Chain A
Amino acid sequence: MDKIYVSHNSIVSCLGNDSQTVIQKIKDGVSGLQPVNDPKLLDQPLCTSQINIEKIPKTIRGKAKEEIFTRLEHMLLNSLGKVIQASKIELTDRVGLIISTTKGNIDVLDDDNPFPKERAYLAELGKVLKEFFGFRTHPIVLSNACVSGLLAIATAKKMILQGDFDHVFVTGGDLASKFTLSGFRAFQALSSVPCRPYDKNRSGINIGEVGTSALVTKDDTKLAREAVIILGDASCNDANHISGPSRTGEGLYRAVKLALKEAKLQPKDIDFISAHGTATQFNDEMEAIAFNRLKLQNTPLNSLKGYFGHTLGASGLLETIVGMHSLHQNTVIASMGFEEIGVSQPINIIRRTESRPMDTFLKTSSGFGGSNTAVVFKKVAE
């Protein structure tokens, strides 16, 4: 079977507009989460990692004076453009595009948003990206709640193995919008201070935003230095509840088990886990239970939500990219916000960012609708 790689990548975020800058900030212990008091977003103070759209290079087509791209489109165009450029891949009919998002341009529903309401259809977002870069194939939008970003990588792998494409560009993004913030607020899940995954004193979730992209390919001449091999992937539903995770972590347990099986690895072979860790009571507890059932309780684990908040449809992709750099630089990243264990079962949370030789990592995501995805990645041998 062909080896499938995740290669060139980019992160457009409030911590910087390229992966290298963002990774360095994370290693330096800088979080992008900031308190925000904006009644237009939410009727109470919140904490988020908002992108200042003025700070990302404008993507201008033609000489049009008025804005032709939405906020999210700017994020994705910038991020995807960098990856296409770095990969030097010609966009033929063998090159696919997967867009991972939960809500896309949902902000166009706002009464004062200048864009037509039709822009809220997710396929429209696909069309904008396709036309801008000149993709020859039909864009594929994946919208599977908070596992979308990680599932998009697994989907790209499947489509390459199936012979549909040789290369797939995966791009993911969501906005910290009034729409989404009001919903999480209604769930009483939002924290007004930086989130603290797995910590005893956690106070809930932060919603953040990034635009992030990566190349998935079978071509080993198209590899970035931090590229990884996708060893195994699986997705499993909890079949339990639409908005709460399974109390036994059933779907996550099954997904990790199947991903390890495909990777032909044992739990002890995993060097670290980049977990979901949203800092809600239910999520963190569910993960602790699942990882104990999997005998992964001693494997070093982090959640990156303390740096970006929960970036929704982008999160799985973003956290995979950070994991790739982490492997390449042989550096475990501290789980920001964690001090004292706040789940009922032991897990080995990474407290300090430090050097350590590493070879493999497991990335997991879980989301509404009972979805869980697990993917095992390995360093490309040097």
Chain B
Amino acid sequence: MMKKKYCISSYCHIRDNTISLNGKTIYTGQHSDLKSLTKSAYRHFDIDYPKFFKMDNLSRLGFLAAEILLTNEGVLPENEEDIAIVLSNRASSLDTDRKHWESIRDSHNYYPSPAIFVYTLPNICIGEISIRHKLYSENSFFIFDEFNPNHLFSYANGLLDTEKTRKVLCGWVDVDGPVYKAFLYLVGKEGPVLHSIEEITRLF
């Protein structure tokens, strides 16, 4: 069977206090932690979405990368675009799991909160992106001990080949204590970069 070829139309990185779109730095700052970076970037990019401040660090990181990338692509919620979301990371939601754990470890100081507990699932980050951009398509969250371009490549191709979706927002969104990294890219029929394992690995 002749395999169809797809392309990466844009990509976004958030790492080391720097945000870049298609390889060009669009924001950089001196921040002591991810919370401060995402808050400052939210203001810098003039985003108006108060729910952002309720999100945990993993959702903020994924939301922000998706916001920058999809805005650049001209994706509007009212168009309800057919974009699937396939994300991956190493630490799942452990960063927030530890917070929930702190709230229940001591029976004399017991304060579990639904607002924290709901973020103890990695795919909540996908949910936040879906709500923001009105994306009703397929979503999956995978966990690997390291970035797995082969899996993302094949899974995105599968969704596109079977016409389950027109585009796939793919990538890596990981938060583990002070360590964080986001790399999102959009795959579809058109774009300047060939969708291949080599290119995904190079961009990561």
Does A242 interact with chain B (Cβ within 8 Å)?
Answer: yes
Pick the residue among A126, A155, A162, A369 that contacts B161 (CB under 8 A): A162
Q: How far apart are the CA atoms of A143 and B144 in the complex, in Å?
A: 11
Q: Which 5 A-B pairs have the closest CB atoms?
A: A369-B127, A183-B117, A123-B145, A141-B143, A237-B130
Given A143-B121, A159-B158, A369-B126: A254 touches B136 (CB 8 Å cut-off): yes
Chain B contacts with A in 82-131, Cβ cutoff 8 A? 85, 90-92, 94, 97-98, 100-101, 103-105, 107, 110, 112-114, 117-118, 120-124, 126-128, 130-131
Pick the residue among B122, B134, B159 that contacts A143 (CB under 8 A): B122
A-B contact count (CB 8 A): 156
For B161, what are the chain A residues with a Cβ–Cβ distance below 8 Å? 162
Q: How far apart are the CA atoms of A142 and B29 in the complex, in Å?
A: 34
The stretch from A68-76, A102-110, A283-291 touching chain B is A102-110
For B136, what are the chain A residues with a Cβ–Cβ distance below 8 Å? 236-239, 250-251, 254
Q: How far apart are the CA atoms of A239 and B155 in the complex, in Å?
A: 22
Q: How far apart are the CA atoms of A183 and B96 in the complex, in Å?
A: 12
Contact A141 B144 (CB under 8 A): yes
Given A164-B154, A370-B130: A235 touches B143 (CB 8 Å cut-off): no
Does B164 interact with chain A (Cβ within 8 Å)?
Answer: yes
Does A240 interact with chain B (Cβ within 8 Å)?
Answer: yes
For A106, what are the chain B residues with a Cβ–Cβ distance below 8 Å? 97
Q: Which of B113, B128, B138 has the most CB of A within 10 A?
A: B138
Contact B141 A242 (CB under 8 A): no
For A121, what are the chain B residues with a Cβ–Cβ distance below 8 Å? 90-92, 94, 145
Contact B112 A43 (CB under 8 A): no
Contact A144 B139 (CB under 8 A): yes
Does A279 interact with chain B (Cβ within 8 Å)?
Answer: no
Interface 1/0 per residue, A350-373 and B, CB below 8 Å:
000000000000000001111100
| Chain B interface (Cβ < 8 Å from any Cβ of A) | 85, 90-92, 94, 97-98, 100-101, 103-105, 107, 110, 112-114, 117-118, 120-124, 126-128, 130-131, 133-145, 148, 151, 154-155, 157-159, 161-162, 164
Contact B112 A241 (CB under 8 A): no
Does A145 interact with chain B (Cβ within 8 Å)?
Answer: yes
Q: How far apart are the CA atoms of A158 and B164 in the complex, in Å?
A: 11
Contact A142 B140 (CB under 8 A): yes
Interface size class for chain A? 35 or more
For A135, what are the chain B residues with a Cβ–Cβ distance below 8 Å? none
Does A91 interact with chain B (Cβ within 8 Å)?
Answer: no
Q: How far apart are the CA atoms of A186 and B128 in the complex, in Å?
A: 21
The minimal Cβ–Cβ distance linking A329 to chain B, given in whole angstroms, is 32
Contact B131 A161 (CB under 8 A): no
Given A123-B145, A254-B136: A241 touches B157 (CB 8 Å cut-off): no
Does A182 interact with chain B (Cβ within 8 Å)?
Answer: yes
Contact A242 B90 (CB under 8 A): no
Q: How far apart are the CA atoms of A80 and B64 in the complex, in Å?
A: 39
Does A179 interact with chain B (Cβ within 8 Å)?
Answer: yes
- In the complex, residue of chain A having the shortest beta-carbon distance to the beta carbon of B163: A262
Does A127 interact with chain B (Cβ within 8 Å)?
Answer: yes
Contact A237 B158 (CB under 8 A): no
Q: How far apart are the CA atoms of A140 and B155 in the complex, in Å?
A: 12
Q: List 26 A-B contacts (CB under 8 A).
A: A39-B107, A103-B97, A106-B97, A109-B97, A120-B94, A121-B91, A138-B144, A140-B142, A140-B151, A141-B143, A143-B122, A159-B154, A162-B155, A179-B101, A182-B100, A186-B113, A236-B138, A237-B85, A237-B126, A242-B124, A243-B118, A368-B123, A369-B121, A369-B124, A371-B123, A371-B127
Contact A151 B97 (CB under 8 A): no
Given A142-B140, A143-B143: A122 touches B92 (CB 8 Å cut-off): yes
A-B contacts besides A143-B142, A164-B154, A369-B124, 19 pairs, CB < 8 Å = A39-B107, A102-B121, A109-B101, A120-B97, A122-B92, A127-B145, A142-B140, A161-B162, A183-B112, A236-B137, A236-B138, A237-B135, A237-B137, A238-B130, A241-B131, A242-B131, A368-B123, A368-B124, A371-B126
Given A109-B97, A159-B154, A237-B130: A143 touches B162 (CB 8 Å cut-off): no
